[in-house]
Amino acid sequence: MMGEPVLVMLVEDNADHAELVVRTLEDHHIANRIEHFIDGQTALDYLFRRGEYEDPATSPRPHMILLDLRLPRVDGLEVLRVIKEDEVLKNIPVIILTTSEAEKDMARAYDNYVNSYLVKPVGFDEFRRLMNDLGFYWLGWNTHPRL
């Protein structure tokens, strides 16, 4: 990804959580572009280039997907399952970013090949630190084939 604009897809229905993620990624210059979606169906439409997202020039593949579990229309686990079953999309790192610490949610996410499962910290400073470390790991240090 060296020199390539970095695109993060954020699928989060909580406006406050989304703002915190966006602000942290921007403050640390982790992503050049952040596409925010508030429900699972719209996120899938973007990924599969349906409807208003059909043009690949305006709907490029993200380098990383931050995905909440509890989403309107299509929940996060279903979005994850669909992504990981698709030959084109399955190599995009998907990180669950949720408030759920439930063992069954974690197990279902890993059963569907999530790349990482993170529980949102309650404190602002801890959340910023998590986002900073997350961005540097997945978008800076981690290597993977071109999408």
Tens-place pLDDT, residues 63-122: 899 999 999 999 999 999 999 999 999 999 999 999 889 999 999 999 999 998 988 888
Question: Which strands make up the sheet holding 64-67, listed edge to edge?
Answer: 33-37, 7-11, 64-67, 94-98, 116-119
| 108: containing domain | 17-141
Supply the angle between the helices 76-85 and 103-111 in degrees, to the nearest 10: 20
What pLDDT is recorded for position 141?
64
In a domain, 75, yes or no: yes
Number of structural domains the chain divides into: 1
* CATH number of the domain bearing residue 34: 3.40.50.2300
In a domain, 4, yes or no: no
Stretch 135-143: mean pLDDT: 64
In a domain, 7, yes or no: no
What pLDDT is recorded for position 132?
76
DSSP category for residue 140: I
Model confidence at 144, pLDDT cuts 50, 70, 90, reads low
In a domain, 129, yes or no: yes
What pLDDT is recorded for position 113?
96
Please give the share of the chain, as a percent, with pLDDT higher than 70: 86
Stretch 126-141: mean pLDDT: 73
In a domain, 80, yes or no: yes
